[in-house]
Structure 1
Amino acid sequence: MFPVSHKESIAPTTSSSSASTQDMEGGCDDGLQGECLRKTDQKQPKLYGVGDPTAMFTSDSSCLSSRGRVIKWFWDSAEEGYRTYHMDEYDEDKNPNGIINLGTSENKLCFDLLSWRLAQNDMLHVEPSLLQYPDWRGHLFLREEVARFLSFYCKSPAPLKPENVVVLNGGASLFSALATVLCEAGDAFLIPTPYYGAITQHVYLYGNIRLAYVYLDSKVTGLNTRPFQLTVEKLEMALQGVNSEGVQVKGLILINPQNPLGDIYSPEELQEFLGFAMRHKLHVIMDEVYMLSVFEESLGYRSILSLERLPDPRRTHVMWATSKDFGMSGLRFGVLYTENQHVATAVASLCRYHGLSGLVQYQVARLLQDHDWISQVYLPENHARLRAAHTYVTEELRALGIPFVSRGAGFFIWVDLRKYLRKGTFEEEALLWRQFLDNKVLLSFGKAFECKEPGWFRVVFSDKKNRLCLGMQRIRQVLDRQSQEVEDASLCHSQEPCSQPR
């Protein structure tokens, strides 16, 4: 996605015990554990890394400022696949040979439900106050509805307060605003990897804030462990390493449910992570943008706002948006909930640049107010459709013999394609991504999520059956060719000397 500069630390050697293959709820599927153990025991693991988005950036002679050139460089380097897709989007009738997008995390399964609800008469309202400058925190009627909505769906032990709510135009703005008001330029946030890679831009482009990576790997070390599992011990070791490099860490970013793993932190894990942050006086930014997209109820998802007591509420800041749970990423609506009024006020001041129109605020308030429709119509049907799409794609992956990680939350499956790389390098990973794109299917490769193991890809399944079928067919075609090339190369390598064509 972008070049980074890594400063690594080597962990002491530890012994790992073998465990039986875990099921989906355990976070490991279809023989993944054996693959994890075989492929990650060969090297000592990296513990941490400090991202430097401009490490390989070279200036040009354009009329832009140095900051402007960095911003343009991000666009040029990080958005290639997305731009290519938009120039050649698949359409069943108009462009059947176009690109199938299984790379962008959007829910495309419930447009019929949403379009019906948004077209109802109660959504169509105009009054003078909606066309004038609002309170920059958001209209009071909307913040009251957000507080009630989060209280109900997050199962908070006490009603949440409207004065703790700030409304912005999407999650990207939330990350940018929080990074700017919580950190000095050059400071860093800890973040476990792999993570949703666009956060790098969100915190860097405005605030010049970096990310300090807590590297996780796919190794399974026991019955109660899972691939890419975050622990307090890993957080402590990464923080110590980053501090030793002279980097000031101001906070910890957590995504729950996690993107791209679909992982869910238990209440016990959340309390441990929050306790770690409190000991080190770190802010915690908790992104819960997929909280209503947990389609396997047995997982028992818990919002951080459901905890009886937060160890450090003044440094705990919760994000949510309609982009994922309501499939409305184009609406650009996000909310911050924080009990720290200094943070709320500072973020609200930036809402001058990240606010929403009064008409959108009114519509969102009406939508969030309709608990009957949300709970009885939308969420059950949305979860059923997500389950069906997830089942189809996972069955296709099993038929291909591809290991994957997925736990029943979010819109994506974390897929292990390491066996299709000859040497196991990020360069090969990028080439494989290019082959998928050339074969008209867009995926996201692991490096974009700062995964430290080359060969992992994120496959988004929240799409209609016909597009999923065609997308998986195109994926199979690429992997069949790649598998043959890897086999030929292995055969050639085993022969001495290797015959060369004239």
Structure 2
Amino acid sequence: MTERLSQSDMNYIEDDLLQYPDWRGQPFLREEVAQFLTYYCKVPDQLDPENVVVLNGCSSVFSTLAMVLCDPGEAFLIPTPFYGGFAFSACLYSKVELILVHLDSEVTDANPCPFRLTVDKLEQALLEARLAGKKVRGLILINPQNPLGDVYCRDSLQEYLKFAKRYNLHVIIDEIYMLSVFDESITFHSVLSMDSLPDPNRTHVIWGTSKDFGISGFRFGVLYTHNKEVASAVSSFGYLHGISGIAQHKLYRLLQDREWIDKVYLPTYRSRLQKAHGYVTQKLEALGIPFLNRGSGLYIWINLKSYLDPCTFEEELLLHRRFLDHKLMLSRGKTYMCKEPGWFRVTFAEKPLWLKEETSFGEWTEQKNTRAMHRFYHVLLEQKQDLIVKQLEDAQRE
């Protein structure tokens, strides 16, 4: 990516690029975004550039969209666990409340897949919210899901959209990881690829380059909506959240180069993700740590409940701090509004040198080692030893 962004076609400056940009995004970039999404989302018909709004990041897009769709105190449904940035962005301008739709990890006859979202759960959450006097204006979905890694099938997406239409709810779908599905057996279905949306005027898609292209510093987020009034209203926030003309031109050239994206970037990107994911999951299996094996995204949702005694959010926080003490940043489940303590998100999208240990997995030693998985192992070893000591002390007291 750095090499591509350093090529001569990126270094273009003209007077217009040095002025205040169009609040909605420069026309040349919006046209390219419409073509890009049409191509990669497999849209039946060419998307309309007039329905594209470009702002400085997906969080800005979501914050402004919430402002446009809701009055203060109104609410969105959102399945948990979910990306914690939504909790901040929802209240940034509009003071929108998030109604949590709690998903369960336990597998039962009624719940054959851990953390599975069903229409029944959405119906129940909506009913409880209305009984509590809440005015629910929409539903937020993340596909591929963060932090679970789930990729919704087309039938499930259709069910969620039909549910929303029944109750006149807007649907905001964050597809920021759409190109980060590295398991070839999994097919990503963008909501834009559907031949017929149940309620197109209330369906809004967010995408950006921070994850799929690893260039979060560009601060680039896209809204695509068939609702031109919504697009116009959100674009007014370009006054506060616009992107520089120079950056917009670079993004235009990058998205335009689909031959390089298809033949160079994406094969390399997905291959590296797959290798890193395989390495980390192999180590998790060797340690007997349960995890969701989903084949998308940059992270793995892992279950460390067996390392907590008692299994509480307070103990989860202490384990999180122990990871930090060993210079490991694992996001704990509480920050994703998970109702069950003990879940953590491990980001595996890192260079092999930082992930891999210098000794074989069966030859862990006490010697100092800077590799991430080696540190991870030693944190859990310390945690397990402390649990054993605590259990012995409890037994002696009894």
TM range (shorter): over 0.9
Match of 2:280 among 393, 398, 405: 393
Match of 2:375 among 474, 484, 497: 474
Q: How far apart are the structure 1 equivalents of 2:131 and 2:110?
A: 34
- 1:343 match: 230
Q: Which amino acid aligns with 1:474?
A: R
- 1:103 match: none
- 1:158 match: 45
Displacement of 1:224 after TM fit?
Answer: 8.1
Q: How far apart are the structure 2 equivalents of 1:360 and 1:438?
A: 38
Match of 1:299 among 174, 186, 190: 186
Q: Secondary structure at the match of 2:98?
A: strand
Displacement of 1:488 after TM fit?
Answer: 2.7
- 2:317 match: 430
The answer on 1:417 being equivalent to 2:278 is: no
Maintained 8 Å contact 2:21/2:243: no
Per-residue CA distance 1:418-443 (angstroms, 9 max, x = gap): 00111111000001000110111111
Match of 2:113 among 226, 229, 232: 226
Q: How does 1:357-376 map to 2 (within 5 A)?
A: 357-376=244-263
Displacement of 1:223 after TM fit?
Answer: 9.7
Match of 2:86 among 188, 192, 199: 199
- 1:239 match: 126
Displacement of 1:311 after TM fit?
Answer: 0.3
Displacement of 1:219 after TM fit?
Answer: 1.2
Displacement of 1:140 after TM fit?
Answer: 0.8
Gaps of 5+ in 2: 357-370
Moved over 2 A (4+): 222-225, 487-495
Per-residue CA distance 1:220-252 (angstroms, 9 max, x = gap): 124982110000000000010111111111110
- 1:442 match: 329
- 1:24 match: none
The answer on 1:264 being equivalent to 2:120 is: no
Q: Which amino acid aligns with 1:447?
A: K
Displacement of 1:492 after TM fit?
Answer: 3.5
Q: How far apart are the structure 2 equivalents of 1:222 and 1:325?
A: 36
- 1:32 match: none
Displacement of 1:466 after TM fit?
Answer: 1.8
Q: How far apart are the structure 2 equivalents of 1:169 and 1:440?
A: 30
Q: How far apart are the structure 2 equivalents of 1:277 and 1:388?
A: 38
- 1:73 match: none
Per the normalisation by structure 1, the TM-score is: 0.75
Q: How far apart are the structure 1 equivalents of 2:194 and 2:188?
A: 12
- 1:169 match: 56
Q: Secondary structure at the match of 1:432?
A: helix
- 1:33 match: none
Q: How does 1:81-160 map to 2 (within 5 A)?
A: 114-160=1-47
Per-residue CA distance 1:273-302 (angstroms, 9 max, x = gap): 000000010100000000000000211111
Per-residue CA distance 1:178-223 (angstroms, 9 max, x = gap): 0111000011110000000111001112211111100001011249
Q: Which amino acid aligns with 2:18?
A: L
Q: How far apart are the structure 1 equivalents of 2:286 and 2:164?
A: 43
- 2:139 match: 252
Q: How far apart are the structure 2 equivalents of 1:224 and 1:259?
A: 20
- 1:488 match: 389
Q: How far apart are the structure 2 equivalents of 1:289 and 1:222?
A: 32
Maintained 8 Å contact 1:123/1:366: yes
Maintained 8 Å contact 2:21/2:242: no
Q: Number of residues paired by the alignment?
A: 384
Per-residue CA distance 1:365-386 (angstroms, 9 max, x = gap): 1100111000011000100000
Displacement of 1:489 after TM fit?
Answer: 2.6
Per-residue CA distance 1:432-472 (angstroms, 9 max, x = gap): 00011011111100000000000000000000112113111
Per the normalisation by structure 2, the TM-score is: 0.95
Q: How far apart are the structure 2 equivalents of 1:224 and 1:388?
A: 31
- 2:349 match: 462
* CA root-mean-square deviation: 1.2
Gaps of 5+ in 1: 1-113
Q: How far apart are the structure 2 equivalents of 1:182 and 1:224?
A: 33
